[in-house]
Amino acid sequence: MLYEKYLSVIDRQSQDICALADAIWDNAEVMYHEYESAQLLSEKLEQEGFTVVRGVANIPTAFTATFGSGKPHFGILAEYDGLDGMSQEACVAEKHPIPGKNTCHGCGHNLFGAGSLGAALAVKAYIEATGKGAITLFGCPAEEGGGGKVFMARDGVFDGIDAIVSWHPERMYMVRTRPALANVLVNYTFEGIAAHAGAAPHKGRSALDAVELMNVGTNFLREHMELTSRIHYAILDTGGTAPNMVQSHAVVQYLIRAVDSEAVRELHARVDRIAKGAAMMTDTEVNIQVLKAYSNLITIPTLQAVANEAMHDIPLPVPTPEDIAYGSALQATMQLTKAEAAQPMYADKVLDPAPPVAHGGSTDTADVSWVCPTVQMHIGNWVVGTPGHSWQSTSQSKSDYAKRAMLYASKAVAGTILRLMDNPDALAQAKQEHAERIGDGYICPLPEDAKPLL
């Protein structure tokens, strides 16, 4: 294993790194409330000699931790927010919510945060030994629903970083090649006039009618938009529960996705016109508020190749008989496809990067990828077939196997950065590929007055 001398820091620190992952799992703080979790990570980094800046981008739970100085300057992303509605006991193979606890780690961000910290410690050891360059760990809150990184990118937090290496818990070991769609999240609030629905319906103007007409209009729009675009909506407020009154207030929230920010802007404008049409049809007023927006993800082939090499060089964790017993009990609760059922329960090899296929999801890492060359890795912390954001992923995110896979992630992230430290040509090539892909540069998709939903 190349760079064993530095990567072995992760083994020596493994108890601390795993304890951090467990503590963050226990804290399970929802977006922008990750006070304890951010403090645990930043405190440990401070103890290790990193310079910590807390509250970056005016977000109390966002931070940066830097070691070294000068160039090249690499970045590692860390997430640590939990998910609402994911209450589940750890390491059990049946659905078992924890009484009184709503937020849990259904996306494995406890592993993501602690594993990224492990990677930063190994890169620090290399910088100390060679005197080369700098490393910054970016503490990124509110990935789930808040888009913390977009606000950080808008504030210039990632400016000047030569490349960013990241990862996420998954069911496989592979460099991420799949793109992610740009999106925008919008609230349409309709205001009408309340009235008795039986005695004086002619005096009422229904906001709920407007929401229904808007949704009908959008559902007809689907026939005439790009196949790669997506529109989803949820009615947040129907104006009441009594049918004998005309609802004077109603809110529908739309998530609009497309291949890039420009395509999102075009589709968003069409949806806005439908909303205004629905307001005209019902004599109501509509207020349109953008809550958050993400760019599309930029992928960099040279970084993918270096990360792939690093991943192949590091031994994968080997499941124990206890891991197998727990994993097979879990898999018995899942709807495995034929292909999944044919695979080993725990992924047992690093897959070569697949040709990118269309994917309907979005990520706030996309905005980081517009500011600097970025690469992500999928790490097989969970058994094959595990649905994301599920009780099964929550249960596993504190398991022994998941933590061993997290330590693998620490080494894979650090191994990628150390290879780039020693290969300026590859870094220059990555920056060239980035420049070609971003054209005129990053335009933050957020409206100027958008603020994090603190």
274 binds Zn ion, rule: CB under 5 A? no
377 binds Zn ion, rule: CB under 5 A? no
Task: Give dist(CA 37, CA 49) in Å, integer.
Answer: 19
Give the range of 30-38, 107-115, 315-323, 420-428 binding Zn ion by CB under 5 A.
107-115
User: 52 pairs with which residues across the strands?
Assistant: 65
Cα angle at 300 between 121 and 255, to 5 degrees? 95
Half-sphere exposure of 85 (CA within 13 A, CB side): 3
Q: At 286, give phi and psi (nearest 5°).
A: -120, 135
Exactly one of 107, 251, 314, 347 binds Zn ion (CB under 5 A); that residue is 107
30 binds Zn ion, rule: CB under 5 A? no
Evaluate the omega torsion of the peptide bond into residue 317 and state whether it is cis, within 30 degrees of 0: no
Q: How far is CA 51 from CA 44, 119, 129, 135, in A?
A: 11, 16, 18, 11
| Residue placing its CB nearer to Zn ion in the complex, 302 or 381 | 381
**Dihedral of the alpha carbons of 260, 263, 265, 268, in degrees to the nearest 10:** -120
Please state, as a whole number, how many other Cβ atoms lie within 10 Å of the Cβ of residue 372.
24
142 binds Zn ion, rule: CB under 5 A? no
* Tokens 């690499």, residue located: 74
Nearest to 78 by CA among 20, 26, 5: 20
Write down the least CB distance from residue 173 to Zn ion, Å. 17
Give the range of 3-11, 21-29, 101-109, 343-351 binding Zn ion by CB under 5 A.
101-109
Write down the least CB distance from residue 144 to Zn ion, Å. 7
Q: Which amino acid is at 413?
A: V
| Residue placing its CB nearer to Zn ion in the complex, 107 or 250 | 107
Write down the least CB distance from residue 360 to Zn ion, Å. 15
| Residue placing its CB nearer to Zn ion in the complex, 107 or 275 | 107
Task: Give dist(CA 21, CA 406) in Å, integer.
Answer: 9
407 binds Zn ion, rule: CB under 5 A? no
Give the range of 103-111, 152-160, 260-268, 273-281 binding Zn ion by CB under 5 A.
103-111
Write down the least CB distance from residue 145 to Zn ion, Å. 11
Write down the least CB distance from residue 79 to Zn ion, Å. 6
| Residue placing its CB nearer to Zn ion in the complex, 107 or 140 | 107
Task: Give dist(CA 137, CA 27) in Å, integer.
Answer: 21
| Residue placing its CB nearer to Zn ion in the complex, 165 or 250 | 165
| Residue placing its CB nearer to Zn ion in the complex, 107 or 384 | 107
Rg (CA), the chain: 24
Q: Which residue is nearest to Zn ion (CB)?
A: 107
446 binds Zn ion, rule: CB under 5 A? no
Give the range of 84-92, 99-107, 229-237, 301-309 binding Zn ion by CB under 5 A.
99-107
| Residue placing its CB nearer to Zn ion in the complex, 107 or 297 | 107
Q: Which amino acid is at 379?
A: I
| Residue placing its CB nearer to Zn ion in the complex, 112 or 158 | 112
Host H or E run for residue 234:
strand 230-237
The residues that touch Zn ion, with contacts defined as CB under 5 A, are 107
